[in-house]
Amino acid sequence: MNIILEQAEKIIEAAKIKSVELDTKMNIAIVDAGANLVAFARMDGAWLGSLDIAIKKAKTARFFDMNTGIIGELSQPGGSLYNIEHSNGGLITFPGGVPIKDDQGNVIGAIGVSGSTVENDHAVAEAGANAV
């Protein structure tokens, strides 16, 4: 299974609503099961430097089918995934990337969000991922 554009647009809309609730401006990236970019939105005034971060968070979440914050915990010095962020052309290992699953629990893509605190990034990403 793969995420389709209609789903990606719904996810972005849910993420934008959560961003507005948190009074922040986000870059929101959606990738499919192959980690290919399907949809992207940059809210008016969102940081330009967060474009690449949002996309890499989405890809990282899909590459490993787990939240990027969990990967970050495992990649600390002495951790089992120490230095993993240097693989795959560069990963982002802090919160804001979340796998997207269908109603049967299959990973069909991922969302990556960047533009605020990592807590806000994660909250917005979860709101988007839960919209499927």
On the CB side of 81, how many CA atoms lie within 13 Å of its CA? Answer: 16
**Per-residue pLDDT tens digits of the chain, which is 132 residues long:** 899 999 999 999 999 999 999 999 999 999 999 999 999 999 999 999 999 999 999 999 999 999 999 999 999 999 999 999 999 888 999 999 999 999 999 999 999 999 999 999 999 999 999 998
> What is the value of pTM for the model shown?
0.95
Q: Under the phi-then-psi rule, with left for phi > 0, alpha for psi from -120 to 50, and beta for the rest, what region is 45?
A: left
Q: Which pair of tokens denotes residue 98?
A: 């979340």
Domains (range + CATH), the chain: 5-129 (3.30.450.150)
Q: What separation in angstroms does the CA of 100 have from each of 33, 36, 119?
A: 9, 13, 18
